[in-house]
Amino acid sequence: MKRSKSNRWRAGCVAALALGPVQADEFTQQDLERWNQEFMEVVREGDRLFHGGFPSKNTVSCDQCHPNASNTHPETYPKFQKQLGEVVPLWRMINWCIQNPLQSEPLAADDARMTALQAYIHWERRGVKLEPGKH
C-alpha cells in the first residue's frame, strides 16, 4: 500500500537528524541471548495460562478447544470478527473467549497475561504467512 508519510513523522526524522549522525542500534551476542531468554519466558507463561493455568471461573481452559493453539489463526488479525461485529486485533478475540467459553473477566490490552497469551499463540504459529483480514 502506497501512502505519503505524515508530517509529524517527517518532523520527527528531521529532529533526529539534527541531533547528529544517526548511530546504528548496537547490540552484542549477550544482549541477543538475554532478549531471547526474556521472550521465551513470556512464551512459557502464555503456554501455562493456555493449558489450564488461567484462573477461569468455570475451569474451562483454552487448550480444550484449541489444542496447541490450533484454530487461533493469529496471522489473520486484525480482521472482521462476526462475534464482535467489527475489525479487531487478536487480543479482542482472546478476550471474547475469556468472557464466553471461560465465563471470566476480560483482560486489559496491556495486561502481562494478555501479552503472554499472545506470545504463546504467535510462537505456535511462527513461520506462517501473514494474511490480515483473511477468513
Q: Is 91 in the site for ligand HEC (CB under 6 A)?
A: no
Alpha-carbon span 131 to 126, nearest angstrom: 13
Using CB under 6 A, which of 13, 27, 36, 64 touches ligand HEC? 64
Find the binding residues for ligand HEC in span 22-41 (CB under 6 A): none
Which residues lie below 8 Å from residue 68, measured CB to CB, with a gap of 6+?
A: 124
Q: Which stretch, 20-28, 68-76, 106-114, 123-131, contacts ligand HEC (CB under 6 A)?
A: 68-76
Provide CB contacts within 8 A for 101, sequence distance 6+.
60, 65
Nearest to 102 by CA among 53, 66, 56: 56
C-alpha 105/C-alpha 99 separation (Å) is 6
Minimum distance of ligand HEC from residue 30's CB (angstroms): 33
125 interacts with ligand HEC by CB under 6 A: no
Q: Which of 78, 101, 106, 125 binds ligand HEC (CB under 6 A)?
A: 101
Distance CA 105, CA 32 (A): 36
What is the size of the binding site for ligand HEC (CB under 6 A)? 19
Q: Does 114 bind ligand HEC (CB under 6 A)?
A: no
**Is position 94 an interface residue for ligand HEC (rule: CB under 6 A)?**
yes
